[in-house]
Amino acid sequence: MVRKKSLGFTVLKGIGASKGIGIGRIFILETSDLRINRKAVPDKPEAELLRYRSARDRVSVRFNQAAAHILKELGSGKGNILDVHALILKDQGLNQEIEFLIRGGKKAEVAVETVFRGISERQKLAENKYLKERFTVSRDIGRQLVMELLGAHRLEVVKGKGDVILVARELTPFALADHPANIKGFAVETGGPTGHAAILARAYNIPMVLGIAGIESAVENGARALLNGATGELIINPSPEIVADSLRLRGLEIDGEAKAGAEKAVSETKDGRRIELLMNIANTHGLNTANTCGADGVGLFRTEFLFLNKETLPTEEEQFLEFEKVAKALFPRKVIIRTADFGGDKQPPAAAETGGTPAYPGLRGIRYCLAHPALFETHLRAILRAGTAGNVGIMFPMVPGLETFREAKVFLKRTREKMAWEGVKLGRAMRVGIMIEVPSAALMAGVLARESDFFSIGTNDLFQYTLGIDREDNSYSAYERFLPPSIVQLVQLVVESAHKKKKPAAVCGELAHQLWALPLLIGLGVDELSMDAAHIPAVRQAVRALSYAWCRELAQKALLLETPAAIRDLLKGAAGE
């Protein structure tokens, strides 16, 4: 997707994954070619083994440092991104394979490269997404090990080279965690906006554009470049006018964010409609951001992350301590704990303990838990114990309809009764809600609203299952402001059904923080929006600039439209664009 302009600059278009403007000289990171000298004669196997083990230890230390760095710098739930790296590095089978080759007379880097090449070949063939993800991480570790053995340190190579726009075929979270400060932007061929590297780039506030096909051969080292992470453009040799305009826009952006940060006002429209803004969290890191961003509570606690990257299932006590920490930190604000949503790309390594690996898209969410009663009971006990203070609510993911919801509620009730009989201290009964993530639940919202205390619409999965597009596939992220009429109709149905029974309806998928969709979501009557804490100040500012009456009118118009393009045009028009 290269657009040549006669004015002498070139625009490469990708997907904006982290907004902001970066200016610098192109630096192409050689990722594919590590130049291993296969002809070099290895030292004695014992010496090679030592060389391998000490390189492995150094990489391990660097993983830990990077993980600690992420925790310290970002402190908002990003700290566990590298946990899986550390686990794989300790993998006995892998180490035995490498050491076996070294003992057989191979140089350490050749042995490492051979074993990891085997892994990436298996990766290409793997059908299971979980394995695919694991193998990508393994390949990254293999690279780190080879680089360590060759004395090549990835992003460090740009140190002292002035401001740089880093171009790479792929970029891993590990590399990013250690980036030198002169990197002003990332332009990458692979990866998606929901990937871990993109999450870190956003957390570090470094502009990032992904999905520029053939990027390494489309640019030259040393060329002047401007990266616009909002529009997804990499401009090579930008004119002074482009640079000036972009910088002016960046100024506006920064100014807006600063004001938003200072804004501690209530999130309500000009005509007084209160829209609660809540946080999505995956663990207990960064709970202090709840205060700095002025969150009204936690709208989605993705508890399954407590189970991932663990060799065994966490005990009731371990889970309880995590849930209690959140409930106490946020009190008296509400905390909605979602029961573990295993399945798809979130599979616990400890799944074997529970008698099987969750399938995708088969046994997922609440159905997985109901099929594993021992796991579910321990999990619910921990949640119920954390709920004594009264601010905790519970919601079940991937509920397909009434029968499953009833089954889950009965399970919860029995667990509670059993605990009461044991004399465990319990608070009053919790509010119990449903995540609306599949069309069957959305279509049955009228029925479900009778028995559910609230709804929270998971638009990430609702898009996936309504449109039949894989949420991991980035090709549809390239569509601008993509909101199909089917989703608008479903949201309307869910919200209206909730309101008829005087129950609130939230949105907790990624759509919740999209400013372009905000007037429509408010107009459809959504009561609460739950998102990464970082988005809350800007969304609050936007809510305060809107009037509910105007949003209602806009939503009525949107409900009559028949294509995503018509809805996009309506929203653009409404935003004065």
Tell me which residues touch ligand PEP (CB under 6 A).
300, 302, 341, 437, 458-461, 508-509
Q: Are the CB atoms for 70 and 200 separated by under 8 Å? A: yes
CA 375, CA 339: separation in Å to the nearest integer?
Answer: 11
What CA–CA distance (Å, rounded) separates 143 from 169? 14
DSSP letter for each residue of 2-32: EEE-TTS-EEEE-EEEE-SEEEEEEEE---S
Q: How far is the CB of 338 from Mg ion (least distance, A)?
A: 9
* Choice between 463 and 548, CB closer to ligand PEP: 463
Q: Which of 196, 372, 379, 513 is catalytic?
A: 196
Q: Which of Mg ion, ligand PEP, none lies near 189, with the C-beta cut-off 5 to 8 A by kind?
A: none
**In the bound complex, what is the minimum distance in angstroms from residue 458's beta carbon to ligand PEP?**
3
Decide which of Mg ion, ligand PEP, none touches 238; Cβ closer than 5 to 8 Å per partner kind: none
546: left (phi over 0), alpha (psi -120 to 50) or beta: beta
Choose the one of ligand PEP, Mg ion, none that binds residue 232, judging by a C-beta under 5 to 8 angstroms depending on kind: none
Closest CA to 56 of 91, 100, 104, 106: 91
Binding site for Mg ion (CB under 5 A): 437, 458, 461
Query: Which of 250, 302 has the CB closer to ligand PEP?
Result: 302
Q: Are strands 2-4 and 10-13 parallel, antiparallel or unpaired?
A: antiparallel
By beta-carbon proximity to ligand PEP, the closer residue of 89 and 536 is 536
How near is the Cβ of 437 to Mg ion at its closest, in Å?
Answer: 5
Least distance between ligand PEP and beta carbon 567 (Å): 19
SS3 164: strand
List the one residue out of 80, 79, 99 whose CA is nearest residue 91: 99
Query: Encoding tokens for residue 418?
Result: 């059993």
Residue ranges with strand state E in 282-413: 297-302, 334-338, 392-396
**Interaction partner, residue 538 (Mg ion, ligand PEP, none; CB < 5-8 Å by kind):** none
Element of type H or E holding 227: strand 224-228
d(CA 496, CA 334): 23
Of 195 and 509, nearer to ligand PEP (C-beta) is: 509
286 vs 458 by CB, closer to ligand PEP: 458
Taking the complex as a whole, the smallest distance from the CB of residue 108 to ligand PEP amounts, in Å, to 40
Choose the one of ligand PEP, Mg ion, none that binds residue 170, judging by a C-beta under 5 to 8 angstroms depending on kind: none
Minimum Å gap between C-beta 21 and ligand PEP is 29
Strands 392-396 vs 334-338: parallel, antiparallel or unpaired: parallel
Report the C-alpha dihedral over residues 222, 223, 229, 231, rounded to 10 degrees: -170
Most distant pair of Cα atoms in the chain: their distance: 79
Min dist. Cβ of residue 132 to ligand PEP (A): 18
In degrees, to the nearest 5, what angle opens at C-alpha 208 toward C-alphas 227 and 541? 95
- Give the shortest CB-13-to-Mg ion separation in angstroms: 29
Q: Per the residue annotation, which of 85, 179, 372, 508 is the catalytic one?
A: 508
Q: Which is nearer to Mg ion, 486 or 547 (CB)?
A: 486
CA distance to 8, 325, 416, per residue, from 389 (Å): 64, 12, 16
**Cβ proximity to ligand PEP, 300 vs 518, nearer residue:** 300
Q: Is 196 a catalytic residue?
A: yes
The DSSP string of 467-484 is HT--TT-GGGGGSTT---
3-state secondary structure of 560: coil
Dihedral of CA 490/494/499/505: which sign?
A: negative
Residues 522/275, Cβ–Cβ less than 8 Å: yes
Query: Based on CB atoms, which residue is closest to Mg ion, 433 or 458?
Result: 458
- Chosen from Mg ion, ligand PEP, none, partner binding at 527 (C-beta under 5 to 8 Å by type): none
Catalytic positions, written as ranges: 196, 508
